Structure 1
């Protein structure tokens, strides 16, 4: 058969230079956000490895500043903060306290690295004694509307401390509009909201609940987080958040929901984030530690899959590894 009768795709795969020239998807440093878990403690040297997330740790504010600094010097430009308070109560008061752990961490990090983009998770689950993302009634049911005021107070307190973006993850109906209104009334009209618009009730959050000490003390979160079986519902959730003033949309988790990432990317011109969650990270790291997967290859392929599906931004615990040179 003459050569022109069939496609010779290998012509463009022959060398590294050729492959780089025609590569369709790239991970840029600016695409990645590294999460950190900051603990309220008097021990400035506190650093506790998270057993289910090899390579990740709970950190004191000082240790967090030091660790962030190592990666800022390598090109890290964005982080996401989660706080672990010293005490919890039924109304999650540590979430919106002016001297709360996240608020103090923001001040310290922005003082050290003023150009670093600091995103903060806005939720109550790390701060409530019951571990749910909102206020409870006497029957133990999460109350949607009364929770909105506390979420709004939390977002405003984060921005007052210096946060650049607030990211509500609670999945209460109407929380984006409530937070937008509160930020605007407080003079923060330029602060963007990165909404966890499409957050599924996922098994893949397991290691995170150890890291953030946020497991619910009873029941589950299926009454407010999305059913993993639903994809069309993601469109409704995204549209609602955009109508309320969201500046970014997010899909969480990422890899089990790449079809949803693609649906949102095709449906809206809004910047789209995807969160490669703790369970995704831990599965890959477990396989790497057992010698079943090549570390660099597995990590980069997973990030490329998320980016290729349509995410503009990836929140990932592998960001540090990327800046350690695995991008090469």
Structure 2
């Protein structure tokens, strides 16, 4: 029975990640709490940067794009997982499954390229401060951000379309809490080696190429910092760059561990654990370690909160 011969209203069965034991119930509500922190943190970052004109700079514009991607990422998977757990239903339509694959892959890919753009932004700010306003003028910054979204979305379209182009083995049970394409491909009886080759190429472009840009950018930044005479300049630069590198390490480390592998190497538990890291933990940590930790952002938040209290 082929995917293409099914109506797009057919339902797939998501086995989920939690059962209704006391331990799993606790973990479920813990995930909801983390989701709430991630949702609020990223929403605050997007609104704060939009409302505060002092934060209308290339660096903070890119931070707002990162927060927007994280916000969309957690909303792609967690609400459906929570609804299925609370309602007792484990079904998702084929259209919903394809939509999840598209958004999940698109947002992960877009973040890969955006992190490289953010590294280039720090490189130009530190190594070419006199040319920074020209090199990172709004038009160029917006164009690089748009390309990040476009490249990620292109990969999402390829994966969503290709995943449902193979015939299945009659099983409709997905051993996951959302539709991730490796978990859906396992259901196929067709030879997926060509598609896995395409995935490998996409992963190479989405991970290796941006990582090369990041390494090159920060190598130049480190050399520039070493030649700085000011100890305060050292501290400020390393604080900003270390936060970015921490996010990069978490993000690309998990990506290299999971996606370049052939589908046959994936285990359901491995996919679930890594997906929880991607879809819930990383979006929560990003605004905490990379954005809200920034003094200018904190100052802007306190200013808005102060206005709110004075208006009460």
TM-score normalised by the chain length of structure 2? 0.25
**RCO comparison, higher one (Cα < 8 Å, 6+):** 2
- More strand as a share of residues: 1
TM-score normalised by the chain length of structure 1? 0.24
- More helix as a share of residues: 2
